[in-house]
Copies of this chain bind each other. A is one copy, B any other.
Amino acid sequence: MDPEEFRRAGHAVVDWIADYWETVGQRPVTSQDPPGAVAAALPAGPTEQGEPVEAVLADLDRIVAPRLTHWQHPGFFGYFPANTSGPSVLGDLVSSGLGVQGMLWATGPACTELETVMLDWLADLLDLPKRFRSTGPGGGVIQDSASSAALVATLGALHRASKGRWRTDGVDRRYRAYASTQGHSSIEKAARMAGLGADGVRAIEVDPATQAMRPAALRAAIEADLAAGVVPAIVVATIGTTSTTAVDPVAEIGEICAEHGVWLHVDAAYAGSAAVCPELRWSHAGVEYADSYCFDPHKWLLTGFDCDAFWVADRGELIEALTVMPEYLRNAATESGVVIDYRDWQVPLGRRFRALKLWFVLRWYGVEGLRAHIRSGVALADRFAARVAADDRFELAAPHPFSLVCFRLRAGDEASAELLRRVNTTGRVLLTHTRIEGRYALRLAVGSPLTTEHHVDEAWHLLSTEADALLSD
């Protein structure tokens, strides 16, 4: 495809996306087609001769788009948001067009340096501890997701806990990871991938009212493990748990970690974005204790997946854990010791120029634009929670400090689950669910930049109407 063909087809694809965004709110949020519908509609293989882009776009409309879950739909309230924005798409488009591979500083100097600077910008925006800045002993990097960040943190922690023997000897004794019962599933997955096994993870109990980790229970678990000859390697504290957005008491947890020399990783995948607003920074009290911290601009900061921002307080420790240097990657810049080679900060060797989308987002929105987006989400969640609280049939199931509201019908688990099924079947909204202290709860997470008061009110109207029907059955 020569540049002129690309120019023409590229304009058509940009138009396709603009049209999609203009109309996404009118589509059903989710497909009701059974599994296999897409596969059945596709041919058995590509043609011998190529086809024009128009043919692919036609099939995109006919086969693919009707069977998507539309994450950018204003009625998408499921999971956590994975919001994107125009500037993010454009930054990512430049990245695709450049086709740069930033595994080493030498293979893309601007790719590496822009990333370092963007992570410093973000650290400032969130008011993270100074030691996370690249100008100090730490530094930031883009991971694909908080899962990979948890894995990388776990590996750094094992390197430290083993006093460096882990690199050569592997998991040669019993190490343990700690998180609350509400920690994300990726923490267990990381521990398993790192060779600790599911039994290598201790789930620490939470306060039933707040769903936040009980520091005393963490201390007891660490001390029991030490007494049994197990080596505590890493504690993962969460700011904004996936189930309910509970905030672990990071400062108290951090003191325990400091006392025992245990690596503290703070997982703020969803709620980290909130710290761009000074009034929400209470949630980040204690992050100065963290050895590593991550949050996902691809969740709630208008940057498309994949973009997890991950910082370490001591980059040397991380690099030592992960580096391997074969001859074919040796180069003068690396040997000078003055550059960052991000391949040593992550699982894969290769990497896209993902800092571009962050750069486009941070500049296009500016600090005030980013804050406005977060504040809008919080205000909309408050608005919805007020509706729930004012209706005797419903109850709030947990505090809602950010933009997620957990609630249920007082009539019980089965009624709540049936209500979820019914509202989702309308195709106007998507909500998901969780269980809190064993009890079923619906989750409404606000985050799409297209979502307005109108959409939140419509969601409430649907819930209220379906509840009428359901409770009178």
Contacts and interface: CB of A to CB of B under 8 A. Distances in A.
A282 interface: no
Interface stretch (A204-212, A220-228, A346-354, A386-394): A346-354
Contact of A109 (B37, B45, B92, B336): B37
B6 A86 contact: yes
A31 to B, nearest CB: 6
B3 A21 contact: yes
B7 A51 contact: no
Given A14-B7, A50-B365, A170 B185 contact: no
Interface string A37-67: 1110010111111111101100010011111
16 contacts: A6-B90, A7-B18, A10-B86, A13-B93, A16-B94, A17-B98, A37-B113, A48-B367, A53-B90, A56-B359, A68-B100, A82-B101, A99-B304, A166-B197, A306-B351, A328-B433
Contact of A197 (B84, B167, B329): B167
B197 A68 contact: no
Given A50-B369, A93-B14, A194-B193, A305 B6 contact: no
A434 interface: yes
A5 interface: yes
Interface in A238-276: 242-243
A185 B363 contact: no
Nearest to A182: B326
A107 interface: yes
A363 B50 contact: yes
A119 B295 CA distance: 32
A229 B365 CA distance: 60
A333 B88 CA distance: 31
B3 A328 contact: no
A352 B107 contact: no
Nearest to A328: B434
A71 interface: yes
Interface stretch (A142-150, A309-317, A377-385): A142-150
A197 B185 contact: no
Interface string A189-216: 1011111111110000000000000000
B147 A347 contact: yes
A186 B348 CA distance: 8
B10 A364 contact: no
Contacts of A290: none
Central interface residue in A21, A64, A435, by most chain B CB within 10 Å: A64
A113 B56 contact: no
A97 to B, nearest CB: 3
A473 interface: no
A106 B363 contact: no
A79 B106 CA distance: 12
A4 interface: yes
Interface in A3-33: 3-7, 9-11, 13-22, 30-31, 33
Nearest to A172: B197
A364 B328 contact: no
Contacts of A82: 99, 101, 350
A414 B397 CA distance: 71
Contact of A188 (B97, B304, B324, B433): B324
